[in-house]
A and B are shown apart, each in its own frame.
Chain A
Amino acid sequence: MSRAGQPHVALPATLAGLQAAIAAGTLTPGDALARQQAALADDRWHCLTHVFPPASDTPGHLPLAGIGLAHKDIFVIGGRQPHCGTAQAVPIEDPGTPAIARLEAAGATTLATLTMAEFACGATGENPNVERPVNPLDAAAAVGGSSSGSAVAVAAGLCYGALGTDTAGSVRIPAATCGVFGFKPGADVIPTVGTHPLAPTLDTLGLLTRSVDDARILFGVLCPTHPAPMRAVSGPWRLRLALEHPRIGLPAPAITAALRAFAHELNGAPAPEVLLRELPELTRLADIILHTEAASVHAQALRTGAPVLGALTRAITVPGSTLPATWYHHARRDQSHWRERIVQAWLGDCDVLLTPLLPDSVPDWDAVDTRSPTFAPKALLGLFAWTGFVNYLGLPAASLPIGTDAVGRPISVQILARPGHEHLLLAFAAQAERLRHGDAGLVPHPPALAASLSA
């Protein structure tokens, strides 16, 4: 029972639903927040790294009043320095993170910080400094990274949305493993001030939510002046589908079938299929930048041993310390030419390009944990085969669950759009979500929200 003696109204599964309930007066922002904060006490998924004390009341008229968010532990928040998946605070000179300040100015409450791969180095949540995060969908399934806690907290219902960072897939991969929406705007759309860098010219802030509309609401707060699309966004959609990876071939049959059926449904006919011949070269260029810039960020630690870097961080930074500077300069020099050419070739006559997000089913944790006796390198490499080149091109991208495989793990599509077409991408994803999932969102019954009923 509530303090007023009224039976509790269930907390809606989506941010949009909670906004509507607060607007209708069936929930107050204070009650909604109190129950969200109480739910944080049961972090059986090992995704929280710090819980902030309850905030003072926020004005109820603000659009995000009563909405609890949590963010990857890579941002300066309220004077707290991030830990970046390490045991200590990592100093950042910026006094705050403007993206989080914008969300809070709109009424959102920052509840907690979330676990991550050490210094954002890794395609999973593997990190020797913290407990392994648990996938709320299936405890045996891997949790992608590096924004692992962001995906887990959203899927579990411990927050209504989370910021992550994406340098080579670190928002989209965890979203795909946990069955939530992961949205990475184009390069420089959301300022990275206040964020500990991995590779500064590739780093992008992104959102993880339980519905596309939730991401649209948060993106609207983060980028209120972002240009609207030049054409109507209700479809019919002009799609292209790239299923075959030039290096690893077609995805698993279940994923191939799911993506073809999805594209057919949204396109109104079988979608034209294309081969992205340039993908391996773009991935090579992206990796040169990633390794080189990460080595530069961590140069002092590599030399002095302080702070001690974990094996996965060193696996990126040590090779990056050996790459010839000319490789890096050529990769940076050619970046805008590649973007121009690829946007014309891949997206010149379509609204969005669809690709697999993962080439195979979401793997077991033990297959992608490098410390496991059953570690399978191919499974780990598959996690980021389709993502790194997107950051090199600076394209907006998203990961959207469109079905499940034979064991109930999510199958996700990657959606790519032209630079500046974030709203078009989100409109497409929202329509696709409604077709596939109705209005209940992608996770209709988050376990932590069910528990919050009795809080």
Chain B
Amino acid sequence: MTSPFDRPRRILVTGATGLVGAQLLLDLAAMLAASGASAEVVGTSRGGSKDGAVIAWDMTESAPPALDGPWDVIVNNAADVRWTMTPEEATFANVRTLDGLVSLAAPDTHVIQVSTAYATGRAAAVASDDRADYRNTYEWSKAAAERLATERFPHLTIVRPSLIMGRRTDGHAERFAGLYVLLRGVASSTIPAVPAARGAYVDVIPVDDLTRVLADLALAPTPPPAGEPTVFTVACGPEAPRVEEVVPRMIDALNAWRVERDLEPFGQPKLIEPDAWDRFFLAFAREHLSPRQQRALDLLRAYEPYLQITEPRPATHVVRDVIPAVELAARAWADRFPRLAAMPLRPWKARADTQESFA
């Protein structure tokens, strides 16, 4: 097969040791090999990789000579995805890093900014700089990054994925964030209950469903026209599973892993309506639970908004049938962290058995 490009194109992937970036490098390599096209694909991350294949670069500092531009395509995956960052941390990690890309881009470089489906916050737009319009500083900073990228890069595509878990094929993930907190919390007996709205959508996609979209964009023969960015949202949208299905299936998958090792299964965490959570459960918790259990509940507050979304995400690329991938992701997490997955049951000192539950 002949190369679809006039010359080997240069593709830079930031955040290349992260969940999305690492998978994207694999997908690009596979697609290039299959097509016979030639391209220089270089990955960077803040710490680089131990084998040197991914170049270390703190994007708030000058790029090393190995990254000299111009690049035909830059896929910016670099991000700190914690939902608990201070505004300063979020700005530094998710907005200031764009500055580092300016010197590497030519006027016709196609920049693909990986954002989040939740960057539109509560106001369904990224225009606001008011933190109150977003669920957390992560969303707020990703909206700011979209605005800045729009100013800086004329040929811009913004890709907004929903929550991301491991690969559809085998559950593998380079990093475990977002919904994995439920597995972690159940395994370490720090989550007795989950505040979730009845029927809430849990819009979670396998990472390889996202990276195929990114790879197609990166390998497109021409950049998008200059002007307003093209925005893609990769999400389940109306096909998203509901919280009543996702949480039990994740824990069932974890428990299947445990039973195979003669370990007692964990109980399912109670799903408690937000109103009952605030009015009854927290009051109960403050009175009866240990300081650590209470601290875990405080930390979990960052995750609450994502289990209370009862309107589907609008999606341009609809991802379907994710429950099997969620189960594989849970097993892959257990394989990666057997010590946590095999933790003994440590009963709560007081459980929420009498609280409202729709599990």
Q: Do A and B interact with each other, yes or no? A: no
B residues engaging A (CB < 8 A)? Answer: none
A→B interface (CB under 8 Å): none
